[in-house]
A and B are shown apart, each in its own frame.
Chain A
Amino acid sequence: NAGVTQTPKFRVLKTGQSMTLLCAQDMNHEYMYWYRQDPGMGLRLIHYSVGEGTTAKGEVPDGYNVSRLKKQNFLLGLESAAPSQTSVYFCASSVLSLRFYNEQFFGPGTRLTVL
Chain B
Amino acid sequence: RKEVEQDPGPFNVPEGATVAFNCTYSNSASQSFFWYRQDCRKEPKLLMSVYSSGNEDGRFTAQLNRASQYISLLIRDSKLSDSATYLCVVNKGSARQLTFGSGTQLTVLP
Whether chains A and B associate is yes
Residue of B at shortest CB range from A4? B43
Total A-B residue pairs with C-beta atoms closer than 8 Å?
A: 44
CA distance A34 to B46 in the complex (A): 17
Q: How far is the CB of A3 from chain B (nearest CB, A)?
A: 10
- Given contacts A40-B8, A45-B97, A101-B32, A109 and B102 within 8 Å (CB-CB): no
Contact of B46 among A42, A50, A103, A107 (CB under 8 A): A103
Let me know if A41 and B96 touch, CB within 8 A: no
- Residues of chain A within 8 A (CB-CB) of B45 are 106
A90 within 8 A of B: yes
- Residues of chain B within 8 A (CB-CB) of A104 are 46, 98
Q: How far is the CB of B78 from chain A (nearest CB, A)?
A: 23
- What is the size, in residues, of chain B's interface with A at 8 Å between Cβ atoms? 21
Q: B residues bordering A, Cβ < 8 Å?
A: 4, 8, 31-32, 34, 41-46, 49, 87, 91, 96-98, 100-103
- What is the size, in residues, of chain A's interface with B at 8 Å between Cβ atoms? 21
CA distance A61 to B16 in the complex (A): 43
CA distance A109 to B44 in the complex (A): 10
Contact of B4 among A42, A58, A108 (CB under 8 A): A42
Let me know if B46 and A41 touch, CB within 8 A: no
Let me know if A90 and B43 touch, CB within 8 A: yes
User: 7 new A-B pairs (CB below 8 Å) besides A103-B34, A108-B42?
Assistant: A41-B102, A42-B103, A43-B87, A44-B100, A101-B31, A106-B43, A109-B42
